[in-house]
Amino acid sequence: MAPAQPRSRSLSEVKASLLNPSTTSHFQVMVGQPSGNFRQFISAVGAFTDQDRLNMMCCEAALPGSQLATSELTDDFSGVTERHVYRRIYDDRIDITFYTDAEQYLPIRYFEAWMNYITNESTSGPQGSVKDPNFYYRMKFPNSYKGSLEITKFEKNLNSNKSAKPLTYSFVNCYPLAIASMPVSYEASSLLKCTVSMTYSRYFIDEGLGGFAGFLDPIKQSLFNGEAFTPGGISNVVARAAGNTIGNTITKSLGSGKIAGLLGNVAKSQVSERVRNFF
């Protein structure tokens, strides 16, 4: 192929290509919760949780990077060194920094609770109290403490520019690996920030496919299954249908009065709930 020849460009071409750069101050972080009973755990230990507020407190993040690992081949062609890819290597962690509120210290309590949840650390439990000198750690199974993380890069003209397309990085199997120490001092006050290192298996750029293609994403599929089925595997549609059938039968048997309608509605909800919790 012939080499590309340099060519002159007009001022309008330069302006159109270079005078609309992306800035670093417009991004959004979405921290997901673990898939186990983390919500019950964090309530039991008295930690306050507000996902939307936590996400808004994120003041610094980083778009991830990766590299390809290669093996070197020197024997296929005389005097030629080749490199073939055998693995994609991701960064071992991503650092996220949060502003800390003066009421609940939400980021600190949230990620401390997440790490306690991983190690089964509490004031009461099978291993005893963390205050006991003989306390020991027993880690949870990985699938129960891994959560999700999304970092979206966008621009300030997102709503006005229809051609603007946000860039969303979705991280798989995330959980906090470390919480950085936070110095405090009697010197001039500054904002208290909490930096958390999250580890993950891999990331991918989510193109936001709609319709049926969105269910090809395993994360979206799991969310769909959680909403469509009960813990016992019974469809929520089946549970509602069973409740409606019995409730309508009771209403017809008792007549069309207000009491009959009330009893029918109570029966609908009770039967639906019983079917959902059958297993």
Total residue length of the chain: 279
Tens digit of each residue's pLDDT (9 = 90 or more) over 31-52: 988 877 888 888 776 666 788 9
Q: What whole-number distance in Å separates Cα of residue 109 and Cα of residue 103?
A: 11
- The pairing of strands 193-199 and 82-90 is unpaired
User: Which of 148, 271, 138 has its CA nearest to residue 217?
Assistant: 148
The answer to whether position 220 is within a domain reads no
Q: Which residues contact 28 (CB under 8 A, 6 or more apart)?
A: 55, 150, 151, 152, 154
Q: Are residues 52 and 189 in the same domain?
A: yes
The answer to whether position 15 is within a domain reads no
Domain ends where: 154, 185, 211?
211
Q: Are residues 279 and 153 in the same domain?
A: no
The answer to whether position 274 is within a domain reads yes
For residue 270, the model assigns a pLDDT of 62
How does the average pLDDT of the chain come out, rounded? 78
Q: What whole-number distance in Å separates Cα of residue 108 and Cα of residue 274?
A: 39
Look at residue 242 and give its three-state secondary structure.
Answer: helix
- What single string gives the DSSP state of each residue in 125-187? STT--TTSTT----PPPHHHH-EEEEEEE--TTTTT-TT---EEEEEEEEEEEEE------SS
For residue 128, the model assigns a pLDDT of 64
Domain ends where: 211, 238, 266?
211
Tens digit of each residue's pLDDT (9 = 90 or more) over 63-82: 999 999 999 998 888 889 99
Domain span at residue 261 reads 229-279
Tens digit of each residue's pLDDT (9 = 90 or more) over 227-264: 444 444 444 544 555 555 555 565 566 665 556 556 55
Q: Are residues 110 and 144 in the same domain?
A: yes
Q: Are residues 112 and 58 in the same domain?
A: yes
- Assess contact for 29 and 52: CB atoms under 8 A: no
Tell me which of 91 and 48 has the higher pLDDT: 91
Q: Are residues 152 and 182 in the same domain?
A: yes
Q: Are residues 204 and 258 in the same domain?
A: no
Show the tokens assigned to 230.
């009960």
For residue 40, the model assigns a pLDDT of 82
Q: Are residues 134 and 250 in the same domain?
A: no
Q: What pLDDT band is residue 90 in, cutting at 50, 70 and 90?
A: very high
Q: What whole-number distance in Å separates Cα of residue 131 and Cα of residue 124?
A: 9
Q: Are residues 204 and 235 in the same domain?
A: no
For residue 274, the model assigns a pLDDT of 56
Q: How far is the CA of 25 from the CAs of 99, 150, 160, 260, in angstroms?
A: 15, 16, 18, 60
Q: What is the pTM of this model?
A: 0.67
Q: Are residues 170 and 95 in the same domain?
A: yes
Q: What whole-number distance in Å separates Cα of residue 203 and Cα of residue 103?
A: 34
> CATH number of the domain that 136 lies in?
2.30.110
Tens digit of each residue's pLDDT (9 = 90 or more) over 128-161: 677 777 777 788 898 899 999 999 999 887 777 6
Q: What whole-number distance in Å separates Cα of residue 188 and Cα of residue 258?
A: 69
The answer to whether position 217 is within a domain reads no
Strand partners, 68: 88
Q: Are residues 250 and 204 in the same domain?
A: no
The answer to whether position 87 is within a domain reads yes
The answer to whether position 4 is within a domain reads no
Tell me which of 134 and 178 has the higher pLDDT: 178
Q: Are residues 143 and 250 in the same domain?
A: no
Q: Are residues 245 and 273 in the same domain?
A: yes
Domain total of the chain? 2
